Amino acid sequence: MNVTQALHEQGQSNWLDNITYSMLDAGQIQHYIDQYSVTGLTSNPSIFDKAIGSGDYDDAIRAKAARGPKGEELFFELAIEDLQRAADLFLPIHERTDGVDGWVSLEVSPLLAYDTQRTVAAAKALYARADRRNLFLKIPGTPEGLPAIEEVIASGVPVNVTSGASSSTRCLLSRSSRARERDRT
């Protein structure tokens, strides 16, 4: 038993903080799931920036760009394709653990961090496009992100708050979550 398997046996959820087209094609992510008890995958724009800069995506970028998408739209097309494949790999874990593990993440554009309504719209649209129940959206923990997080969660979209959340923002999120739980019971 290796260290990550031992950690998993003790209840630790092990997440991979990386994704590339070549990792998916080579079966490397499945290998991490099988051999290292990896139970989830996180991504962010810098991870994809590094992956896209590797050259693995050159053909896909050319083909997609010829159809029209550019800039951020092109980025999200590539990211969603990879994350759909990853989500499918993690789905058995998600089902086996009743949603505790088996998640993959996609971050809404950091350019929207201070725009509540555009963050809400982007999160809902990305979740619908990805069409994977074990994908959650990462939303920045800014003051404008707080109402976006609440609205997106209320709409049924799974959310993770990204770094930058102050202790007061985390406290407000916690209170809001508890109030929402009380309302459900």
Single out the residue in 102, 134, 151 at which a domain terminates. Answer: 102
Per the annotation, the verdict on 138 as an active-site residue is: yes
| Final residue of a structural domain among 102, 131, 162 | 102
Question: How confident is the model at residue 70, as a pLDDT?
Answer: 87
Claim to verify: residue 33 and residue 115 sit in the same structural domain: no
Q: Which of 64, 70, 124, 138 is catalytic?
A: 138
Q: Which residues pair with residue 136 across a beta bridge?
A: 105
Q: Range of 1's domain?
A: 1-102
19 and 81 fall within a common domain: yes
Model pLDDT, residue 106: 96
Q: pLDDT tens, 98-113? A: 999 999 999 999 999 9
Q: How many domains does the chain have?
A: 2
Mean pLDDT of the chain: 89
Q: Does residue 149 share a domain with residue 167?
A: yes
Measured in residues, the chain has a length of 185
133 and 88 in a single domain? The answer is: no
Assess whether 74 and 150 both reside in one domain. Answer: no
In tens, the pLDDT along 113-172 reads 999 999 999 999 999 999 999 999 999 999 999 999 999 999 999 999 986 655 655 555
Of 45, 79, 102, the last residue of a domain is 102
